[in-house]
């Protein structure tokens, strides 16, 4: 997709990957609708994009609320026109000792990471299908393809759901002229930890869990602006899977070999 002149909506757009992608797409001529719950950061990014000479609207939006996301779609179209690209990017981290993580915490994590994406699809996809034009980018994670730690199970499970949902969405949308990309970053320098929850873990266990995750995903943290540029390039080329770090390709190949060996062992035991 050539994004010049397109209206782009980005949830979680006030910081991190959302901000980086908003700036990258604005530089390519897109008009931007920023959605986030942090009004101060929203205003700052709104000013950045306005300074680039692009139209921009900032909307306070909690993707865990049905009405907020529906109103986001209505405000985007009433202010800037038909939305050509939606990036479902808002997310949170939940990790902990699983015996202490209650259902309300699971629901909080899935309500944002999974149902936030579903709400975005529900609000924007019908309009795209009707126009036979559009693009959706969903932010998953390398943790949605390979389990990094046991304590990260809630986050990992939510991102596995996003990966599967996005693969199916791409298959569904292809005949209707709507393209789909799946972003699966590893370590990125963002503000994600500010809203994260860590339950039933001592400080020492939290440090050990973080180190374990870093050792599995490998490589230093990437800058969010760099990831945003990769997203913009992927949209231009209509690339489905966006893996910002080359180390993850080998990680996925290793997972494939492990799964294949497991299946063979089970078949041999029958």
Which segments within 107-263 are labelled E, that is strand?
134-139, 178-183, 188-189, 197-199, 222-223, 241-242
DSSP state of 98: G
For 219-270, write each residue's pLDDT tens digit.
677 899 999 999 999 999 999 999 887 766 777 777 667 766 765 676 576 5
Which CATH superfamily groups domain 7-269?
NAD(P)-binding Rossmann-like Domain (3.40.50.720)
Query: What pLDDT is stored for residue 199 in this prediction?
Result: 85
Residue 259: per-residue pLDDT: 60
Tens digits of per-residue pLDDT, 39-86? 999 999 999 999 999 999 999 999 999 999 999 999 999 999 999 999
Confirm if 119 and 66 have CB atoms less than 8 A apart. yes
155 labelled catalytic: yes
The residue ranges of every structural domain in the chain are 7-269
- pLDDT tier, 201 (very low <50, low <70, confident <90, very high otherwise): low
Instruction: Determine the pLDDT at residue 21.
Output: 98
CA distance 192 to 201: 18
The answer on pLDDT for 210 being more than 60 is yes
* Entry pTM: 0.89
């Amino acid at each position: 997709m050539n994004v010049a002149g397109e209206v782009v909506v980005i949830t979680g757009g006030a910081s991190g990957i959302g901000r980086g992608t908003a700036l990258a797409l604005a530089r390519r001529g897109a008009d931007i609708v920023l959605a986030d719950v942090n009004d101060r950061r929203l205003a700052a990014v709104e000013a950045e994009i306005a300074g680039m000479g692009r139209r921009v609207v900032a909307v306070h939006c909690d993707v865990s609320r049905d009405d907020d996301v529906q109103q986001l779609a209505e405000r985007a179209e009433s202010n800037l026109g038909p939305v050509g690209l939606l990036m479902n990017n808002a997310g949170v981290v939940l990790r902990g000792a699983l015996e202490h993580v209650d259902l309300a915490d699971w629901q909080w994590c899935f309500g944002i990471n999974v149902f936030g994406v579903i709400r975005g699809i529900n609000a924007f996809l019908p309009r795209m299908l009707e126009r036979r034009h559009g693009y959706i980018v969903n932010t998953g994670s390398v943790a949605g393809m390979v389990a990094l730690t046991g304590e990260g199970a809630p986050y990992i499970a939510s991102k596995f759901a996003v990966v599967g949902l996005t693969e199916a969405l791409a298959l569904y949308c292809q005949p209707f002229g709507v393209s789909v990309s799946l972003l699966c970053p590893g370590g990125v320098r963002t503000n994600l930890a500010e809203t994260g929850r860590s339950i039933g873990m001592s400080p020492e266990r939290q440090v050990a869990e973080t180190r374990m995750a870093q050792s599995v995903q490998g490589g230093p943290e990437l800058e969010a602006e760099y990831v945003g540029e990769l997203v913009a390039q992927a949209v231009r080329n209509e690339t489905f899977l966006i893996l910002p770090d080359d180390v993850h390709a080998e990680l996925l190949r290793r997972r494939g070999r492990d799964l294949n060996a497991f299946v063979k062992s089970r078949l041999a035991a029958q």
